[in-house]
Each structure stands twice: as C-alpha cells, then as structure tokens.
Amino acid sequence: MSSLHLERSINKIETNFSLEKGLLKCLTWKTPYYSCKLDKLLVVRLRRVDDLKEAPLTGQLVAISVYYFLLSILLLVAGPILLLKKKARAGLSQKLGFITAALKEKSKTAATKPRIWFHAVSVGEFNALFPLLTEFRKRHPQFEIFISTTTATGQEIAKSKTAGFAEVFYFPFDLPWITAAYLDLIAPSMVAIVETEIWPGFINQCHERNTPCMIVNGRLSPRSSKGYKRWGFFFGQFLAKLSAIAVQTQQEQERFAAIGNKPLNISVCGNIKLDGLNPISSLERKQLREKLNLKDSDFVLVAGSTHEGEESALLEIAKRQDCKLILVPRHPERFDRVQQIIEAAGLRARRFTENESFESASDVYLLDTIGQLSRFYSVASLAFVGGTLANVGGHNLAEPSMYKVPVLCGPHVHKAKDFFDKLSERGALHQGNDVEELNKLVESFKSCEKDRIQAGESGYQFIQDSQGAVARTLSVLEQYLPQCDSADRSNQKWERVGVR
C-alpha cells in the first residue's frame, strides 16, 4: 500500500468514525510489540496528521482511530485462533461483551454503594494485588469490589481467594462499545490496573467519564520500555490520562517518564507483592515435609514456574546431584507434558493431585496445581525460579527468600531485572547461564551449608527491608477515591479528590 493510499485511508477513518457514538469496532494490543506491514508508514503518518504536538485533540482522535481500526483487523485475523485454542477461548464470550448474569445481579444489588474495579491480568498480577486488596477492604468496607483478569488461571485464583467479597469476571476486549457496556454497568468510582496493562481505549474511556484510573505496582522492564518509547508519541498521551502511576522502583519511574513527552504523575511505592509474602508456620512446614515423605537429611531443589526446556535441564541436575526435585510448571496445560518429560528421563512422577509422595530415589514430585508454589518453597534447600533458563524473562525471584532459601536463575531475567540486581548484590541470588553452570551452583550450595544459610539470610533481610509498599500505594490510591459521608449513591453528590 502506498503512503498516498494510507493517507487517504486515515483521512477516511477520521471522517467516518466517531468515538463518542461508539461506532468504532476495534481490539487492543496487549503490548507494543504487535506489528504489521503498515507499521513504518503508520508511524510516519501519525506524526504528520495535524501534527500531534501542535494540534493534540485532532492528533489524539486520529491516533486512537487508527489504533482501533488496525486492531479490529487484528481481531478478525486472530478470530480463528481464538476459537481453536482452548487457552485463548477462556472467557471469550465475556471478552466479546456478553456480560454474565452474576455480574449484572451484583451491580444491581450494589447499586447504592461505591465501587472499585481492579484489573490483574493473570496469577502473578493477582497475587501482587491481593495484599493491597486485603488492606483496602479493611480501610474501606463500604466499597463493592470488582476484579477482572485475562487468563483462566487468573480467574481461578481470584475466585478462590475472594469468594464472598468480590465479583470476578474477564476483562473485555478494548472495543469501545464493549468497554463502555462494562463501565456503564459497574460504574466504578475508580479503576486500578496492576503492573503493565496499558489499554489505550479503556484508559481513554475512563478519562472521558471522569473516572480516576491508575496503575498500581507499576512495572516496566528495560526491554518493554524500549518498545513503549518507540511508540511514545502514541502511548504517552494515554499514560498522561492516568490519574496516577504507582511504580515499584526508581528505575521504573524513569522508564515510564521517558515514554512520550507529556508529564506523568508517578510515585515510587515499592513492590506490593513483597508485602504479601507471608510464610506458613513452622508446624505447617513440618506437616508438609511429612506429607511429602521428606527426611531432614534430604537436599530438596524446588523449581518454580518452569517452562518448556527447563524441566529437562533440572532433571539432569537432580540426577547428577542426587537431590529431591519438586517441579512446578508455570502453566496448568503443561502438567501432563511435564509428567511425560519426567518419565522420558527414566524417572517416576509423583503428583500432588494424586496425593502421592516421595518413595524412592527415582521419584520426582510434580506440583500439578496452582496457588501452592509459595508453600512448597518452605521445604526447599535451594530454589530455582523458572522463565530464566527459557527466554521468558523471569518470574518472582524474591518469593523463596521469605523462607531463607537461596535462589538460582538462568540468564534471562529482563522482566525481573530490578529484583535480580538487588538480590544478586546481597548474595541471595546466583545466576547460571546454562545447565553446567547451574549444576556447579547446586553442587556448591549442597556441599557448603554455611554459604547456603548466609545466602538465605541475605534474601530474607531484603524482604524485611522492602516492606511498606501496600501502605504507600494506598496513600496514593486514596487521593482519588470519592469523598462522601454516606454510601447512598443516589442521594449524595460525589466529589473526587485529585482527578486529572
């Protein structure tokens, strides 16, 4: 397509599509990495149309129009994939705007109460949110809580942990008429998005409704920030519509601030996930060891949140070091696959869901459920955090440290770089670039209990020093809550403090 044709197409979009009337049919990107053949031409055109800097209103209208249009095409192209893949089908009807009866009933019965909408894309984000959620309920019991997730595992863990006090549903596709339907129904007094879910259309709709919308526990890895900076002229204008961004570290503050050329309201609050790390009691640990049939002399390696390729590497290490291995795959759909990998290595899989335990030297324990990883770190002599040997970027590197367990990881830590740097500086985390290096690290820690204890203590002290993020985040969030002495939404005039 020539640049002239593209220019005419964009002009036609600007003329024919009206955001206010909800006539745009669209879908949103989850990250800035989705691309198409029009990518470079689009960047040039968006920079030229009415000059975004000199005519921001028109520029924003064109930008969001093109965004909606292209992502509508993406939805049409991806439609067959969404229907064929079981994982992608999860919650598809809700994402397409078919609101459940339960959500409608909850909104109806809570009509006179203030509401807050939290969005956590999956398990990791919800686990980060939970300590904030718990404290929010204590401080603001009058609020009805609505929680959206994107994945099926996120739904499962959210429903199990919030049963009775929150309505859980799937986050809708960022189509204007779909997101508008959810916002109209829930009518939230505020929206809080966990970590890095930047949905331009949804943020724009909240802004137009004068509904405060903020990011909590904001996280932006160095790799992701490069993509957002590349599209900064686009994403910057929507980030500026957020009431606040509460980030984990100073580095994240700098990365968010570097997107686009508009000032952002950013506060460094720390990582709320660390406030939620509550170790189980010594009695529970003892009972778990007994259930697994672990002896005090056993050296236990717990590998959490593993991905394809990592289990094979860890099985090889476990064979060499003669240690008990507990594998915890990141995704439930891989549980059976991991059992096959264990058996192909000439070992026997013992599964949590079968109520099995270690019985012989050839046994490998498979934790084939979600929400239990934290408890199982308590029986570890040493922990490996997955998504680091596979090129995923890492998961929660700090979690084993609450039990004073030293942590190992692979070379790919770009999604958890800040945790990696801080834990490495303290000697609580050690990195191996391949199977051989990781094997040497396991051998070293197995042979020297003193080093193992020292590394574990250093990690535990990091957890203690990092507490307080929930209180700091709530202090930011509460600036944008409605101020009202009564819970009666129908008879009170609601005022919001600090709405941008």
Q: 202-253, pLDDT tens digit by residue?
A: 999 999 999 999 999 999 988 889 989 998 888 999 999 999 999 999 999 9
Q: Give residues with Cβ within 8 angstroms of 492, minimum separation 6.
A: 484, 485, 486
Q: What is the pLDDT of residue 72?
A: 79
> Considering only CA atoms, which of 332, 330, 292 is closest in space to residue 309?
330
Q: What is the DSSP string of 394-449?
A: ---SSGGGGGT--EEE-S--GGGHHHHHHHHHTTSEEE-SSHHHHHHHHHHHHH-H
Residues in the chain: 500
Look at residue 13 in the predicted model and tell me its pLDDT. Answer: 38
Q: What angle do CA 404, 408, 410 make, to 5 degrees?
A: 155
pLDDT for res 193: 98
CB 103 within 8 A of CB 178: no
Tell me which of 7, 54, 125, 197 is the catalytic residue.
Answer: 125
**Residue 57: per-residue pLDDT:** 62
125 a catalytic residue: yes
Give pLDDT, residue 443. Answer: 97
Residue ranges of domains in the chain, CATH in brackets: 3-86 (no CATH), 95-276+468-482 (3.40.50.11720), 282-465 (3.40.50.2000)
| Residues in the chain with pLDDT values less than 50 | 1-55, 484-500
Q: Please give the single-letter amino acid code of residue 336.
A: D
What phi-psi label fits residue 407: left (phi over 0), alpha (psi between -120 and 50 degrees) or beta? beta
For residues 234-264, one letter each, b for 16 or more C-beta atoms within 10 angstroms of the residue's C-beta and e for the rest, the string is bbbbbbbbbbbbbbbbebbbebbbbbbeeeb
The helix/strand/coil state of 214 is strand
Q: Do 249 and 268 touch, CB atoms closer than 8 A?
A: yes
